């Protein structure tokens, strides 16, 4: 039996994301006042994705609780829709985007932090908030994967949706640059046009790899659990 019920964990994680988002939006940073505001940063978009995802998880838990023992076919149909939305968000957005943000951020940070998180930001963002945005995302999503079985879409549909998200974000970054003359991330200022194209292609490929990794990890966790139950 779990030490903490998964429903309580989801509520706690959802509240933590609300706290992180509120504290981040309260920071008076120059970048927040420029074109695109916080929405030009993948980190912020990922935080919104995680908050919405865990909100859907909590809503699914509440609906499941209310539907239990009910003979209403309509309530069961609505619950199935919520579960499908929850599973789709986990597969296509929450895991691949969350894993990408965490691993890419800390890889570049260790290599040269000024490429992704200039030291100037230390004057605005406290360390706990930085970890809330760039570290705890991954363990939170793995906890959710471990406590709940999520049904992945077909691999073709899933990869297509993930690639569309990645391409959409690349187009958004290019649009912000065309409007402001400044790239969202300092790294892009230091490389040439061909290197940027290669970077964008690698970004799309890597996030697709994380989709596949999430699918494999989800299947491994739940196939192993089924084997233990049978044993």
Q: Tell me: the pLDDT tens digits for 1-11?
A: 355 688 899 99
Q: What is the pLDDT of residue 151?
A: 93
pLDDT per residue as tens digits for the range 114-132: 888 888 888 889 999 999 9
Q: What is the pLDDT of residue 225?
A: 57
Percent of the chain with pLDDT over 90: 68
CA 171 to chain centre: 19
Q: Answer left, alpha or beta for residue 151, where phi above 0 means left and psi between -120 and 50 means alpha.
A: beta
Task: Let me know if residue 2 belongs to a domain.
Answer: no
Q: What is the pLDDT of residue 118?
A: 86
State the pTM of this model: 0.91
Task: Let me know if residue 32 belongs to a domain.
Answer: no
Q: What does 113-130 look like in DSSP terms, one character per residue?
A: GGGTS-GGGGGTS-HHHH
Q: What is the pLDDT of residue 44?
A: 95
Read off the tokens for 197. 């194209």
SS3 category, 224: helix
Q: Which domain holds residue 140?
A: 7-27+39-229
Task: Let me know if residue 189 belongs to a domain.
Answer: yes
Task: Let me know if residue 210 belongs to a domain.
Answer: yes
CB environment 184-206: b (16+ within 10 A), e (fewer): bbbbbeeeeeeebeeebeebbeb
Task: Let me know if residue 34 belongs to a domain.
Answer: no
- What total number of domains does the chain contain? 1
Q: What is the pLDDT of residue 120?
A: 86
């Amino acid at each position: 039996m779990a030490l903490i019920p998964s429903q309580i964990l989801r509520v706690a994680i959802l509240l933590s994301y609300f706290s992180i988002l509120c504290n981040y939006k309260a920071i008076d940073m120059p970048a927040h006042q420029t074109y695109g505001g916080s929405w030009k940063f993948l980190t912020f978009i990922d935080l919104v994705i995680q908050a919405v995802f865990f909100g859907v998880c909590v809503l699914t838990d509440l609906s499941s609780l209310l539907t239990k023992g009910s003979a209403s076919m309509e309530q069961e149909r609505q619950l199935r829709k919520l579960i499908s939305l929850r599973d789709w968000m986990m597969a296509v957005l929450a895991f691949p985007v969350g894993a990408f943000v965490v691993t890419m951020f800390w890889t570049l940070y260790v290599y040269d932090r000024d490429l992704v998180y200039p030291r100037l930001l230390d004057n605005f963002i406290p360390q706990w908030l930085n970890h809330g945005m760039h570290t705890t995302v991954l363990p939170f999503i793995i906890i959710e994967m471990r406590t709940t079985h999520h049904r992945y879409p077909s691999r073709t549909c899933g990869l297509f949706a993930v690639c569309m998200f990645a391409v959409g974000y690349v187009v958004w970054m290019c649009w912000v640059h065309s409007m402001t003359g400044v790239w969202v991330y300092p790294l892009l200022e230091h490389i040439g046009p061909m290197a940027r194209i290669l970077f964008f292609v690698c970004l799309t490929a890597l996030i697709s790899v994380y989709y596949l990794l999430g699918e494999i990890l989800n299947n491994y966790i739940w196939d192993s659990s089924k084997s233990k139950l049978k044993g």
